[in-house]
Every structure is written in structure tokens, then in C-alpha cells.
Chain A
Amino acid sequence: MAASIIETTGLTRSYGDICALKPLDLLVPEGEWLSVMGHSGSGKSTFMNLVGGLDRPTSGSLQVGGENLLALSEDGLARFRREFVGIIFQQHHLVPYLTAVENVMMAQYFHSVPDEAEARFALERVGLGHRLKNRPGELSGGEQQRVCIARAIINSPKLLLGDEPTGNLDHKSTIMVMELLKELRAEENFTVIMVTHNQEVAAWGDRTIYLDDGILVREERLVKTDEG
């Protein structure tokens, strides 16, 4: 049994009267690929943002990678994000005036020092070796999402978070992105948490949890058939 990379007890997040996440107890073992499902407004993004250090809980405890996120200052959380987490959003959030390689280098810059060769290599790994100098506006949706993946993995995070990364992609691109993530995970051994509305995408994971109105209602362990 691997050690837990994420440990929450009684974790909640409220916005005024709205309780977006009801007390949640969850353990995520290191190296697991966890899918998060639930209807719109069920608190999936809320959960993700808490785990990724982008948001602060209202109550409960939250340990990620041995770090008590509640105890961290704003700058402490920023350091946690750049050193520990890679995030991929649904909208491909790239800096529009920077090229693909510069967008990746920006993450390196905030982390430590930019290294163009390394950034180029990361883009080659996601199959964009030929579009290094293009700006986001000149890339397709799937390509932009792959730049985001390259940026998310560039600092070798222990935890990769995806908030519906394939939400805007067609079936073919979705498969491509998921395959890519799977390959990268095999090499880098990071833990994955993936929010999705898509059952097929969720099936890429080891386990799926279902949220409903901020409550964990169900979880499902997937039997891997394709690895047998």
C-alpha cells in the first residue's frame, strides 16, 4: 500500500450560504489516477482548486505531499503550486503574446531558471516539436491543450491536476491527449486527478469518485483490462 499523497478530513468550502463542498474525507495514494465525476455545480472544481493550492478551505484539514496547506501563506501556496503541482484547465489558458516554447519557459522561470532546450524537449514529447515558435492563436484547440500539458509537466510535479482538460476537444483529440497523459505518467510517476463529465475519459483512471451537491456519494475502482 503506497503512502497517501492527499489526505483530507472534514474538508469543506462554503461561499456564504452555499456549501460547495460538504465535509470530505479522502485519501489518495501516491501514483493513483483519480477521476472525479458529478453533475455541473457538484463541487468538482472546488475540490480541485483546494487540492491544487489555488483556493483555501473553509474548514477541515488538508495535507498534500506532507504539506499542511492550511498553514501556508499566500506566497507559500504559490511555492507549493510551482514545485508540487501541474495544472491543466478546460480552457487552454496560455499567455497569448508568448510562443509555445515561451509559455512553457514561463513556468520554468517562476519555478527556477528557464531552460529553452528542456522546454523544447517537453514540447517534442507532446508532439509539438514543429510548432515551438507559434503563438497560442495559431494553434488548434488540441495543440493548445498539449502546450498546457507540456507546461504542467515541465517542473516534474508530483501531482497533475486536470479540470476537464478534454472538455473542449473532439473525440480524436481527447483520445490523443489521454494517451499522452498516460505515457507521461508511466515515465514520471506523478499522481493524477482528473475532473471529467465523460465516462470514457474517467475510465482512464484507477478509481472514480462521484460528487453530488458537494458530497462524495459513490466511488468506483476500475478493473484494468487493457493492461492485462
Chain B
Amino acid sequence: MLFRILKNSFLKRPKAVFLIFLSITMGAAVATAFLGIAGEVSHKMALELRSYGANILIEPSAAEGGGFLREEDLPKIKTVFWKYNITGFAPYLFGIAEFSSGGKRERGVVSGTWFAKQLEVPGEDVSTQGVKGIAPWWEVQGRWPEDADEAIIGAALAKRLNVASGGEVTALVKGRRQLFRIVGIVTTGGYEEEQLFAPLVTVQTLLLQTGKVSRVQVSALTVPMDDFGKKDPSTMSKDEYEKWYCTAYVTSVAKNVEEVMAGSRAKPVWQIASAEGALLNKLNSVMLLLTVLALGASATSVSTSLMASMAERSKEIALMKAVGADRFQISSIFIGETLIISVVGGIVGYFIGDQLAEVISRTVFNSTIASPLWLFPTAIISAFVVAIAGSIAPLRRALLVEPVKVLKG
């Protein structure tokens, strides 16, 4: 009977039903689309943010006292648990040198590094590691060094030595000399402008530090720190530690890398890690807020449509009450109606939203996305939530209908 009442009441008011259906469908579609691309947006955004600098710094641990890391450990960075989150790294070996060019002499830092090194690790894909990858904001006038005696020089140091691209600089360290051919002037906006960058091997030879590295900068995709992530791992229970280790917090990735680099201490570069985390958190909040707003808008619209039809339905409600329908029975008719509409609206909304996410992802990020499985129930639940939220006020009004007043002869 409930079914007959619902069926006939639908057929009787196709326009009103269609309007409600439309509101619910749109709400579900927008929720599906937003939530569908939210993951994608975060990921793309995180990748983009990685170009603002390394977020993990590996240095020799004070306890070991050696003062150096081993170059031979570097390939292991590509084998750790979080290897797919590590987008790049670059080693550095620093030393003080006496630079001379033309008639000028200046003391400064000579820095050996990888610029764009092909790294082959057994069992892993070949990758290119070095400064070029992790510091895309470095502006090089000229080109990056390729040969062992080529170097790029920081803009400030270049100015003091009065050297330009194509010039030569001799570095003197404890009586040993190395002639560098300058192929580029680098501007970074930071301390790097006071240094001379040359291939790692060359600097190792010059400094008599074969196979040694002073520090490594690592760029990794991480999740924003939350309260759990901030806990001290040494105080965690076994389960907690496992959960912490398996979440891509910047601290757990750092710990991961530290484990493979002998005598190292890896620490997050907090300015960068926390700024990134804050940005990603904000982005997620914005997506969530938009979803909630969209759902709120469609709930309002459902409510308005139901309210409008309530005027013409008050007689019918009064009659049902006069015949003996209690509040539960009246409610089940109304909620039944909106729930049926919302199931259909949720399904249709899901498919529209999925397409919408596809289109957005293609036009904005130039990529396709696989919609996650949980999106379907989410769409249906969003539709339910919209339907229920939109029904509250109209249902209240329905329950307040006084048969005596409405059915007056």
C-alpha cells in the first residue's frame, strides 16, 4: 500500500518530483566529482610543491664523529621502503678553497655534487639524480657542467672574481690545484651564490676525500604532519610504530633513509615540510568545504521544492491524520518518497559526477583518473544526506498540519 501511495503520488506530481530528483542528482554529482578529483589534486599539488626544495637533509651523525657520509651508500636510497616517494636527491662535498681568476683571488667554498647523474641500481629503474632535478629554481646562465673539469659558479662569487661563462677559475686547496672551466653562472637567491659547483669526483680528488660526501639533500613526497605524526617514535608501541613507519610523514621517510646511510642523521627541513603540509591541508579543506557547500545547496533546494509541494499536500496529510495516521506513518510516507528519489538521484549523480571528474582531470591536469571504489557508496550516501537534510523542515511542517483546520467544511 505504501508503494501504491508513493507510486501514485509520484505520478501525480511529476514536475515537483523531477525538481527534487534534479537537486539530489546535482548534489551527488558534485560530491562525486570533487571527492573523485580531490586525491588527484593533492597528488599533483604535492608533486608540484616538490620543486620548492628538498625537504630532507642527511648529514653525518655527530656521534659517529667521522664528519662524512659514504658515496657508495647513495644508491641504497633508491631501494628503501619509501623509494617511490623519493623524487630525487643530490649529494654534496664541501671544502674551503682559494679561487683565482685573472689577477683576482678570493676565498670561497668549492662544492662537489651530482648535476644530472644516471643512477643504475640493480633491480630498479635507471634514474637521473642530482641538483638539476631537486632544485629546479636554480637559474643557470650558460649550461650545466658535463665534463670532470667543468664547473658552474655562484653569481656573487663570479662577480668578485670578475669571471664570466667561458672563463677559467683555479682552485687551490692545501697546495693542490685544479683548473675549472666555467660553463655557467648560477643564481639561486641563496648561499649557493657564494660557491663553485663542480662534479663530485673532481672535488673529492681535490679535497683528498675520495668516496666521501658531506651531506645529501632528498626531495620526497610526504603527507601533512598530524598529531600522530608529531609523536616521538621512540615512545610508541609496536603497533603505533608500524603505523607511523607506514605513513609517509616527512619524519618517517627521513628515518627510512637514515637507516640505509651509514653514520647518518636525516632530518626534515621543517620550513619546507610544514609549509607544504599546511598548503595540502588547506587544499583538502577547500575541496571538502566545496563539497559540503554543494551538498548544502542541493539540500536547500530539495527543502524548498518539498516545502512548495507541502502547501498543496497539506489537505492530503490532514486527511491521512484524520483517518488515523500517526506521526511515524506520515513520516514514513514522506521519507519514503525522498529516499526513493535519492537512490535514483544518487546512482545517476554518481555517473554524472564520475564523468565530470574525468573531464576536469583531463582539462586541468591533463591526465585521466581511476575513480576509487568508495566513490559509489559515497555518492549514494551524499544523496541520502541531501534527501534527509532537505526533508527535515518540510516533514516538521507536515507533522504540524492540524486536520481540523485544514478539513473545515
Interface positions of A (Cβ within 8 A of B): 45, 49, 54-55, 74-75, 78-83, 85, 87, 89-91, 93-98, 102, 105-111, 114, 151, 163-164, 167
* Residues in B whose Cβ lies below 8 Å from that of A98: 4-5, 8
Write the nearest CB–CB distance from A25 to chain B, whole angstroms: 23
Write the nearest CB–CB distance from A103 to chain B, whole angstroms: 9
13 A-B pairs, CB-CB below 8 angstroms?
Answer: A45-B409, A54-B404, A75-B327, A79-B324, A82-B323, A89-B322, A91-B409, A93-B315, A97-B12, A102-B4, A106-B5, A110-B325, A111-B324
Task: Using C-beta atoms within 8 Å of the partner chain, give the interface range for chain B.
Answer: 20 to 34
Contact B408 A45 (CB under 8 A): yes
* Residues in B whose Cβ lies below 8 Å from that of A80: 324
Question: When chains A and B are docked, how far (Å) is the Cα of A114 from the Cα of B5?
Answer: 12
Q: Among A102, A151, A167, which residue has its beta carbon within 8 angstroms of that of B323?
A: A151
Write the nearest CB–CB distance from A224 to chain B, whole angstroms: 29
Contact B326 A109 (CB under 8 A): no
**Is B319's CB within 8 Å of the partner chain A?**
yes
Q: B113-139: contact bitstring with A at CB < 8 Å (1 yes, 0 no)?
A: 000000000000000000000000000
Interface residues of B in 279-327 (CB under 8 A from A): 315-316, 318-327
* Residues in A whose Cβ lies below 8 Å from that of B407: 89, 91, 93
Question: When chains A and B are docked, how far (Å) is the Cα of A163 from the Cα of B329?
Answer: 25
Question: When chains A and B are docked, how far (Å) is the Cα of A96 from the Cα of B327?
Answer: 21
Q: B5-17: contact bitstring with A at CB < 8 Å (1 yes, 0 no)?
A: 1001101100000
Interface residues of B in 207-261 (CB under 8 A from A): none
**Is B2's CB within 8 Å of the partner chain A?**
yes
Write the nearest CB–CB distance from A91 to chain B, whole angstroms: 6
Contact A110 B320 (CB under 8 A): yes
Contact A110 B324 (CB under 8 A): yes
Contact B5 A81 (CB under 8 A): no
Q: Among B1, B327, B403, B404, which residue has its beta carbon within 8 angstroms of that of A106?
A: B1
Contact B11 A97 (CB under 8 A): yes
Given contacts A55-B404, A95-B319, contact A90 B409 (CB under 8 A): yes
Contact A109 B1 (CB under 8 A): yes
* Residues in A whose Cβ lies below 8 Å from that of B324: 78-83, 85, 107, 110-111
The residue in chain A whose Cβ has the minimal distance to the Cβ of B327 is A75
Contact A102 B8 (CB under 8 A): yes
* Residues in B whose Cβ lies below 8 Å from that of A90: 409
Contact A164 B322 (CB under 8 A): no
The residue in chain B whose Cβ has the minimal distance to the Cβ of A107 is B323
Contact B8 A75 (CB under 8 A): no
Write the nearest CB–CB distance from A148 to chain B, whole angstroms: 10
Question: When chains A and B are docked, how far (Å) is the Cα of A164 from the Cα of B407?
Answer: 13
Write the nearest CB–CB distance from B394 to chain A, whole angstroms: 18
* Residues in A whose Cβ lies below 8 Å from that of B329: 78, 110
**Is B191's CB within 8 Å of the partner chain A?**
no
Question: When chains A and B are docked, how far (Å) is the Cα of A83 from the Cα of B323?
Answer: 9
* Residues in A whose Cβ lies below 8 Å from that of B315: 93
Write the nearest CB–CB distance from B337 to chain A, whole angstroms: 13
Question: When chains A and B are docked, how far (Å) is the Cα of A96 from the Cα of B316?
Answer: 8
* Residues in A whose Cβ lies below 8 Å from that of B1: 102, 105-106, 108-109, 114
Kindly name the residue among B4, B321, B323 whose own CB sees the greatest number of chain A CB atoms within 10 A.
Answer: B323
Write the nearest CB–CB distance from B98 to chain A, whole angstroms: 96
